Amino acid sequence: MAPTRVVISEDYASGVANRIQTRLPEMSDAMAKIAVYLLEHPQAPLKLSIGQLADQAGTSAATVTRFCRMIGYAGYAPFRVSIATDFGRSTARDSWKTDIGRAFGPDDAPGDVLSTLVNAHSRTLRETAAAIDLPAMKVISKRIAESRHVDIYGVGGSAMLADEMQARLYRIGINAHTWAEVHSGLTSAAIQNKDCVAIGISNTGRTEETFQMLREAGRAGALTVAISNNPTSPLAEVADMRIITSVHEHFLQPDDLSAKHGQLLVLDLLYLLIAQENFDRSIDNLAASALAVSTHRRPRRTPVGARQSREPQPSTESII
């Protein structure tokens, strides 16, 4: 049985450490050896080749590669870059306790709670940004922009993100629909084809309903995309492509809002990349929808004494 907790060196790259600790209970014995070695020797990847690290941990280079993929990296090289980046962001003295924060207690002062939250959410965004596969995001955005139909599946807290993404895509001319109820979602998934894209959103990647809907869409021929914090989850494994977000610490289980921020970041990026694929169409659709609801917005107040123009001026708000 793999160990579930080890003592972490004070000078560890905190984001990587948390990824390792999160996945440690799921690791095989061989991978657990690597995890324990890295948590005790945090700077080893900066000095050792993949073969040398494997020798030190008593395993193989192939296992090191699988280990890197399990915690969300494409291979050993991106893993080393992430460690170097984390060390560059924080000092040996404060990286683990100060920068990453700690669990909440009942007597914590409001300022301490706020500081911990800011650190947690900021690190989540940085880790997610570092893990994003931009070429894959470009492929996904192009397929969505050219698709006949887009299904977005999300249950519980993920349903809110699915609804937000659907509304954005619909406004720029993408035929997108969202499903939180499994029967309706399976019905829609079953009639997809190779010209469609299906997206499943789940922080854990283990939500059964989301998994079933995405799997059904894949069986029907759609390109399937998983958005999850867990690269080895059932949802990620059933998808054709995956976008992995990162949450370095969970304060208020089971629904830590910092997870939503990482997912919102990748959804916002995906939306903008899709809009770029047919920018003129996106701008035209956004302008038309903004005009349609303009009469339902109260005009801005003019400061007292300000000179009034004879005709109202058009809004200069950014469309996208």
pLDDT tens digits, residue range 175-207?
999 999 999 999 999 999 999 999 999 988 899
Q: What is the pLDDT of residues 112-134, one digit of tens each?
A: 778 777 877 787 788 788 878 89
Closest of 72, 80, 12 to residue 46, by C-alpha: 80
Answer yes or no: is pLDDT of 88 > 70.
no
pLDDT of amino acid 289:
85
Answer yes or no: is pLDDT of 231 > 90.
no
Give mean pLDDT, residues 144-151. Answer: 96
Span 1-100 CATH architecture: Orthogonal Bundle (1.10)
pTM for the structure as a whole: 0.64
DSSP assignments along 146-207, one per residue: T-SEEEEEE-THHHHHHHHHHHHHHHTT--EEEE-SHHHHHHHHHT--TTEEEEEE-SSS--
Token pair in block for residue 27? 């690791």
Answer yes or no: is pLDDT of 135 > 50.
yes
Burial class (CB in 10 A: 0-12, 13-18, 19+), 278: middle
Place of tokens 């003295």: 93
Question: What are the boundaries of each domain within the chain?
Answer: 1-100, 134-279
Answer yes or no: is pLDDT of 294 > 50.
yes
Torsion angle, alpha carbons of 201, 136, 237, 49, to 10: -130
Answer yes or no: is pLDDT of 9 > 50.
no
**Phi-psi category of 103—alpha, beta or left, where left has phi over 0 and alpha has psi -120 to 50?**
beta
| Residue 250: band (very low, low, confident or very high) from pLDDT cuts 50, 70, 90 | very low
SS3 244: strand
> In whole angstroms, what is the distance from residue 253 CA to residue 203 CA?
12
The more confident residue out of 70 and 88 is: 70
Answer yes or no: is pLDDT of 94 > 50.
no
Answer yes or no: is pLDDT of 248 > 90.
no
* Lowest-pLDDT choice from 117-126, 144-153, 184-193, 255-264: 255-264
The more confident residue out of 303 and 159 is: 159
CB 196, CB 169: distance < 8 Å = no
> In whole angstroms, what is the distance from residue 157 CA to residue 175 CA?
23
Token pair in block for residue 258? 């910092």
Using a pLDDT cut of 70, give the percent of the chain over it.
79
DSSP-assigned letter for residue 296:
G
Answer yes or no: is pLDDT of 65 > 70.
yes
> Helix crossing, 110-131 with 257-277: angle to 10°?
40
Mean pLDDT comparison of 85-89, 92-96, 122-126, highest-scoring range:
122-126
pLDDT of amino acid 293:
86
Selecting from 3.40.50.10490, 3.40.640.10, 3.40.710.10, 2.60.40.150, what CATH number does the domain 134-279 have? Answer: 3.40.50.10490
